Amino acid sequence: MPADEVSPAIGGSVSRMESASRAGPRRPFSHEHFASIVAPLFESLVSVARKVLKSDDMARDAVQEAALSLWLEPEWPPNPRAWLIRTVVHRSLHLARTRARRQKYEARACRERLETCDRDDPSQLLESQDLFRELVEALEDITPEHRHILVLKVIEEWDYESIAARLQIPIGTVRSRLNRSRRAFRKSVERILPEECAQRVKHKKQAP
C-alpha cells in the first residue's frame, strides 16, 4: 500500500500518534516514514491478532495499540516487522485474558442475580416455608430417641465417635440406631408428603 494511500485504521493510529508526539519528545522519523513501514504490514498483523482473539474489531484494536507503542519507542527497532508481530501477539493475548476474566465475572454475576430472583420470589419463599414446616412435623412425629440421634448426625453433622461419646453407647449401636431413625423419618415424610414422595419415585424410575 503506498504511503499516501493510508487505510482508515492506519489513519486513526497516526492521529493518535500525532497527539502523543505533541505531548512527548520529537520522534527520530516522520509520520510518512512510519506509515510507509506499518501500512503494508497492517492487514497481516490483523490476521495474526484475529487468530488469537477471534474478533476482527479487537484484532484491529490490538494492532493499532501495537503501532502506537512502536511510535512511542525512543529508538526505531532493528527489525520493525518482527517487533510489531511480537507486540501484536502479546497485546492480543492480554486482551484475550482480559475478555475471559470479564466473561467469567459476568457469568457469575448473572447466576447470582438469578439465584437472588428465585430467593426473592414470594411463591418460592412460601413453598420453602411450607416444606420446612412439613419436614419439622415429620421429624417431630418420630420417637425422641430416633429424633435426637438424627438431629446430631444430619443437622449438627456430628461424626459417629462424637455421637457415641455424647449418648454413651457403642459406635455399632449408633449406626444401627441411625438406620432405624432414617427409616422412621422416611415413613413419616411419606405419610405427610405423599405426592412429593410419589413424584420423586417416578423421577428415579425415569432417570437413565
Give the CA-trace dihedral at 46, 74, 81, 45, to 10 degrees. Answer: 0
The string of pLDDT tens digits covering residues 49-87 is 999 898 899 999 999 998 888 888 888 888 888 999 999
Q: How far is CA 185 from CA 60, 188, 200, in A?
A: 65, 5, 16
The string of pLDDT tens digits covering residues 103-162 is 888 888 777 666 555 555 555 555 566 666 777 777 888 888 888 888 888 878 889 999
Between CA 145 and CA 167 the distance in angstroms is 10
User: Distance between terminal CA atoms of the chain?
Assistant: 63
Flag whether pLDDT at 4 surpasses 50.
no
